[in-house]
Amino acid sequence: MKKQYISGTWKQQDNYKSFLPTYINQEFDWEDKKINTLLEKANLELGKLESFSNFIPDIDFFISMHIGKEAIQSSKIEGTKTELDDLFVEKNDKTFEEKNDIQEVKNYIQALKFGIQLLDELPLSFRLFSQIHKILLQSVRGEHKGPGEIRTSQNWIGGTNISNAFFIPPHKNDLSDCITDLEKFLHNNTLEIPELIKIALIHYQFETIHPYLDGNGRIGRLIIILYLIEKKILSRPVLYISDFFERNKGEYYNALTLVRNTNDIEYFIKFFLTGVIETCKSSLYTFEEILRIKEVFSEKILLFGHKAEKASKLLHFLFSKPIVNSKDVQNLLKVTPTTANTLLHEFVECEILIENTQLKRYKIYTFESYLRLFR
Residue 172, domain CATH: 1.10.3290.10
Give the residue from 79, 374, 108, 83 showing the smallest Cα distance to 225. 108
pLDDT, average across residues 297-311: 93
pLDDT at 139: 87
pLDDT band with cut points at 50, 70 and 90 for residue 361: low
Percentage of the chain surpassing pLDDT 90?
Answer: 73
Together in a domain, 210 and 263: yes
Residue 1 has pLDDT above 60, yes or no: no
pLDDT, average across residues 259-280: 97
Q: How many folded domains does the chain comprise?
A: 2
- In whole angstroms, give the CA distance from residue 316 to residue 277: 30
Give the residue from 58, 70, 148, 142 showing the smallest Cα distance to 105. 70
Residue 17 has pLDDT above 90, yes or no: yes
Together in a domain, 322 and 183: no
Q: Is there a domain that residue 174 lies in? A: yes
Q: Residue 364 is part of which domain span? A: 304-374
pLDDT, average across residues 147-154: 96
Q: Is there a domain that residue 189 lies in? A: yes
Together in a domain, 266 and 324: no
Q: Is there a domain that residue 39 lies in? A: no
pLDDT, average across residues 202-223: 96
Count of residues in the chain: 375
Q: Is there a domain that residue 298 lies in? A: no
Together in a domain, 118 and 254: yes
Residue 54 has pLDDT above 90, yes or no: no
Give the residue from 244, 231, 245, 250 showing the smallest Cα distance to 193. 231
Together in a domain, 82 and 186: yes
- Indicate the average pLDDT of the chain: 92
- On whether the CB atoms of residues 82 and 75 are closer than 8 A, the answer is yes
Residue 42 has pLDDT above 70, yes or no: yes
pLDDT, average across residues 305-315: 94
pLDDT at 169: 98
Out of 80-89, 168-177, 315-324, least confident range: 80-89
Together in a domain, 270 and 317: no
Question: Which of residues 71 and 128 earns the better pLDDT score?
Answer: 128
pLDDT, average across residues 69-75: 84
Q: Which of 283, 318, 345 is the last residue of a domain?
A: 283
Residue 3 has pLDDT above 90, yes or no: no
pLDDT band with cut points at 50, 70 and 90 for residue 358: low
CA distances from 275 to 38, 207, 214, 279 (A): 10, 17, 25, 6
- For residues 265, 266, 268, 271, the Cα torsion angle rounded to the nearest 10 degrees is 180
Q: Is there a domain that residue 37 lies in? A: no
Q: Is there a domain that residue 288 lies in? A: no
Together in a domain, 115 and 188: yes
Together in a domain, 244 and 327: no
Together in a domain, 202 and 75: yes
Question: Which of residues 77 and 259 earns the better pLDDT score?
Answer: 259
Together in a domain, 257 and 310: no
pLDDT, average across residues 218-237: 96
pLDDT, average across residues 257-282: 97
Q: Is there a domain that residue 32 lies in? A: no
Residue 62 has pLDDT above 90, yes or no: no
- On whether the CB atoms of residues 114 and 135 are closer than 8 A, the answer is yes
Q: Is there a domain that residue 292 lies in? A: no
Residue 280 has pLDDT above 90, yes or no: yes
Residue 255 has pLDDT above 90, yes or no: yes
pTM of the predicted model as reported, rounded to 2 decimal places = 0.91
- In whole angstroms, give the CA distance from residue 264 to residue 212: 25
Together in a domain, 124 and 270: yes
CA atoms within 13 A on the CB side of 211: 25
Q: Which of 252, 283, 314 is the last residue of a domain?
A: 283
pLDDT, average across residues 181-208: 97
pLDDT band with cut points at 50, 70 and 90 for residue 104: confident
Q: What CATH number has the domain bearing residue 337?
A: 1.10.10.10
CB atoms within 10 A of CB 287: 20
Together in a domain, 188 and 239: yes
